[in-house]
Amino acid sequence: ARQSYDAALVEFRASHDIVASPNTRLELARCLLAMGKLVDAYAELGRTAIEAKELKAEDNRYGRAYEAATAERAQLHPKLGFVTLTVENASDGTRLTVGGEEVRRAAWAEPAPALAGTTDVVVTTPGHVPVTRSVTLAAGASTALTVDAQSGASDATEASAATSPQSSPARPARGPA
């Protein structure tokens, strides 16, 4: 069964690449859900709803995809935890991951979904050591977290610490004369 979902996922992605359709996105999300990839399915259902909402004025068939995606996403919500992030001192190169999944900058203001339980939030800023915060997320609830993107030591400081002078090697003991 696992292989058939893997194959279906490939087919749905290929189909969506050819014709970007909310209906294909919806099936892709359902496939991810069946594979137990709840966070990915939740994100895909969100994209489905947005795409379908934009297109339903042109074609009413997409109204059903919008309603289904919205309803199925609402059913997933209680199974996931969410972290509402405030990233301070971010630079253009700052990247954010929650539970190993990158969060696009446009979505930083939205609660980021993750599996309930303890998850890592990692903020990576060029020139600084990545900042990692572990946060415990309750199912269906959102936890707020503020991270200073530049609070990690600068790479230059880290590099100089790694190459700090070491004690000189001990001299070999002299044998009997």
Give 41-63 pLDDT, tens digit per residue.
999 999 999 999 999 888 888 99
DSSP 55-71: HTTT-THHHHHHHHHHH
Flag the least confident range among 118-127, 144-153, 159-168.
159-168
Residue 30 pLDDT more than 60? yes
Q: What is the pLDDT of residue 57?
A: 83
Q: Which residue has the tokens 């199974």?
A: 79
What is the rounded distance in angstroms from the CA atom of residue 120 to the CA atom of residue 12? 30
Q: pLDDT tens, 63-109?
A: 999 999 999 999 999 999 999 999 999 999 999 999 998 999 988 99
The model carries a pTM of: 0.72
Flag whether pLDDT at 160 surpasses 80: no
pLDDT of residue 168: 41
Q: Quick check: 94 and 123 in contact, CB under 8 A?
A: yes
